[in-house]
Amino acid sequence: MSKDRDAFAAIADPTRRRVLELLRDERSLTAGELAERFPTISRVAVSKHLRVLREARLVRSRKSGRERHYTLDPRPLASVYREWLERFAPVMELSLAELKRRVERD
């Protein structure tokens, strides 16, 4: 699987997207700290999500003593944006232009 496909597959899951948001906001969290943010799923499940994110190169881990600290690596997300989301920019711009016309007309 290509790196882009790995990133696409990884961000397809809402829990993994939430992990990425937490790491964006907090900069660095341990697996335990992340697991505390997801009280409805097991710590093992959180670890599996982290493994998928690591394999997709969306997060980096650093071992410090007995703990592993996770940080966001946004570079694969730039590729996802460039290769896929950017293609939708013209459609979004047309939608915004149409909204503006409707608001100004009313």
Which tens digits make up the pLDDT trace of 59-97? 999 998 999 999 999 999 888 878 777 787 787 777 778
What is the distance between the alpha carbons of residues 47 and 35, in angstroms, rounded to a whole number?
A: 8
Show the domain range for 95: 3-105
CATH number at residue 18: 1.10.10.10
Which residues, 6 or more positions from 50, have their beta carbon under 8 angstroms from its beta carbon? 19, 31, 34, 59, 61, 70
What Cα–Cα distance (Å) separates residue 82 from each residue in 8, 68, 87? Answer: 12, 31, 8
pLDDT value at position 3? 52
13-41 tens-digit pLDDT: 999 999 999 999 998 999 999 999 999 99
The number of folded domains in the chain is 1
What is the mean predicted confidence (pLDDT) over 46-58?
95
pLDDT value at position 23? 97
